[in-house]
Amino acid sequence: MGKTSSKSATSVLDMIREIEDDDFAAELETILAERRILKSLIAMRIAAGVSQGDIADKLGCSQSRVSKLERANDGDLKLDELAAYGAATGREFEILAHRKGSTPVDRVKAYAFCIHRELKFLASLAKGDQSMAQGVSAFIGEALFNVVKAMKDAAKTLPKRPPITMELDADELDDDCPDEAAAAQPRKRAKRRRREDAVPA
């Protein structure tokens, strides 16, 4: 017999866990995980106002083939089909591989590396062109603002909003130092902030 709970469900999976057994919920979770990419593609197609027929034209197949594909699993998706979705919706795809069993923390670090790589590429385009360098510099400032804002927004969802603390390692800071006297000083490891020095989320 199904379970009952007085808690309010925040998702379909939560609802199923409340009224059915955990095995069924785990099976549904697996099914949803196997369609993560296709669900994103379908949402992207709909948001762009692109029909299954438009995708079929790009693929050179029938609309029913696209419909069947959208009901399949991510493992059934081919690279040419992925490229067709991108072309039909005005997008390109870049494949980012994560280590199997990676955590959200691992993925955030990987995305941070990607942002770093792209910003360095942008900076390299300036090549002594002061006007371009100024534009890239302004964009880097804008990117920094947006990343900090995104982190702040995420922190606001934490329960009881504990303070955010940060530990700096002086050995990882840039070697460039405008103050020659400071540069001559031996490097010191930055101390961890005290709780009262922490920045509120």
Mean pLDDT of 135-157: 91
Mean pLDDT of 178-196: 46
How far apart are the C-alpha atoms of 48 and 66, rounded to whole Å?
16
Mean pLDDT of 114-129: 90
How far apart are the C-alpha atoms of 36 and 52, rounded to whole Å?
18
- Going 17 to 21 to 22 to 24, the CA torsion angle's sign is negative
Three-state secondary structure call for residue 101:
coil
Q: Class of 12-88 per CATH?
A: mainly alpha
Taking the domains of the chain in order of start, what are their residue ranges?
12-88, 104-157, 160-201
pLDDT of residue 9: 55
Question: pTM score > 0.75 for this model?
Answer: no
Average pLDDT of the chain is: 75
pLDDT confidence bin for 101, thresholds 50/70/90: confident
Angle of the 36-47 helix axis to the 22-33 helix axis, nearest 10: 60
Tell me the per-residue pLDDT of 149-185, one tens digit each, with 9 for 90 and over.
Answer: 998 888 888 888 777 777 766 565 555 544 444 444 4
Q: Token pair of 144, please?
A: 């920094």
pLDDT of residue 30: 65
Mean pLDDT of 130-143: 93
Tell me the per-residue pLDDT of 17-48, one tens digit each, with 9 for 90 and over.
Answer: 666 666 666 665 666 666 778 888 888 888 88
Q: Do residues 122 and 136 lie in contact, with contact meaning Cβ atoms separated by under 8 Å?
A: yes
How far apart are the C-alpha atoms of 122 and 116, rounded to whole Å?
10
DSSP summary character for residue 178: S
pLDDT confidence bin for 11, thresholds 50/70/90: low
Mean pLDDT of 136-154: 92
